[in-house]
Every structure is written in C-alpha cells, then in structure tokens.
Copies of this chain bind each other. A is one copy, B any other.
C-alpha cells in the first residue's frame, strides 16, 4: 500500500464499488441488483460477498466514493481563482451531464437511502459542504460589493443549490438540457450577473 495516486488495473473490490456507483447513479437503490453489479464489474458472486457484507455495505462504499468526488469538485471550484461572485458563477456554469443528473443528489430521492441514517450520511455531508462553500462565497461577494448586502448568505446558498438540483428534474421531464440551462440563467439573472 502506497496510499498514493498510483493508477493500476482496478482490483475486484474497486471494480465492484465503481460498478455499484454507476448503477446507483442511473437506476437508484432498487434498480441496483447484485446480479447487475456483478455483470457490470465482471466479478463473481463469491468475490462480492467476500469483500462486502451485502448490498447495503456495497452501496455505502459507492456513496462515499461519489461524495468524495463531488466534494473534491466543489472544493476545486471554490478555492480557485476569482472573486466570490466569480466562484458562484463558475459553480453554476460547471460542465454537467444534465440528463444523467447529480450522482449524489440522485441518492436523496431514494427512500431506501434516505430512511437509513448511515446510508443518508454521505448525501447530507456533501450538501453541507456545498452549502458552506456557496454561503462563504456569497459573503465574500457582498463584502466586495458584488452582491446586495441584504441577502442572507445561507438562504441564497440554499436557493442556488436547489436551482441546480431542481434543474435536473425539469430537464429529465423534457428529456432536454434546455430547462436546466434556463433555470441556471434565471438564477444568474436574479443574482444580477448576466444583464
């Protein structure tokens, strides 16, 4: 174990986690069957139950991986160059696979995940990290005179996070990226950015 960023042919365990993560993203908890995971991962059944105690254990590992990736992306955007407002705009305009949606947000719609404290935790944590970074950027933007000082940062942050998550729902309903893009542009208008 080096613990470093050495990229190799993934072992069975990593392939299982990644396969589960992809299935969970696209088809949710109930749609992610052990059989489907094995087919996608190219791993045998015995191997899966050797590394994980069962489906919930495997799902938790996959969730933690998605949470880790999303939090890294959030940190990259909000510790990057630019003013507070520029970081907010950068977050809203991130390149996204709109019709696939958010790998973490998807989990918040799964009753089996939401009902279980342990399975819900990675989702809760990730939205917490997002909200904190957005709120801090709003505060910075206000200090710089880029945003109205009367805005409450935590509220604005929640509204902006919701626009992104809700935009995915609107887009899926029409099977088109346009509703998502309209919602993002609408949020930018309300922030006073695009005019």
- State the A residues within 8 Å of B (CB): 26-28, 30-31, 101, 105-106, 108-111, 114, 120, 123-124, 126-127, 131, 150-152, 154-167, 169-170, 172-175, 179, 182-187, 189-191, 195
Contacts of A164 in B (CB 8 A): 162, 166
Tell which of B126, B151, B162 touches A167, judged by Cβ atoms closer than 8 Å. B162
Are A151 and B189 in contact, CB atoms less than 8 angstroms apart?
Answer: yes
A111 smallest CB distance to B (angstroms): 5
Bound together, the chains give a CA A169 to CA B195 distance in angstroms of 30
Inter-chain contacts of A158 with B (CB < 8 A): 167, 170, 179, 182-183, 185-186
Give chain A's interface secondary structure class. helix
Chain B's nearest CB lies how many Å from the CB of A168? 8
Q: Establish whether residues A31 and B111, one from each chain, have CB atoms under 8 Å apart when the complex forms.
A: yes
A173 to chain B, nearest CB (A): 5
Task: Knowing A28-B30, A109-B106, A111-B31, say if A183 contacts B169 (CB, 8 Å).
Answer: no
Q: Does A127 lie within 8 Å of B173, measured CB to CB? A: yes
Q: Is there an interface contact between B109 and A151, defined as CB atoms closer than 8 Å?
A: no
Which residues in B have their C-beta under 8 angstroms from that of A179? 127, 131, 158
* Contact among B110, B150, B162, B195 with A162 in the assembled complex (CB-CB below 8 Å): B162
Q: Would you call B30 and A152 a contact (CB within 8 A)?
A: no
Shortest distance from the beta carbon of A34 to any chain B beta carbon, whole Å: 15
Distance to closest chain B CB from A185 (angstroms): 5
Indicate which residue in B127, B175, B185 contacts A170 across the interface (CB closer than 8 Å).
Answer: B127
Which residues in B have their C-beta under 8 angstroms from that of A165? 162, 165-166, 169-170
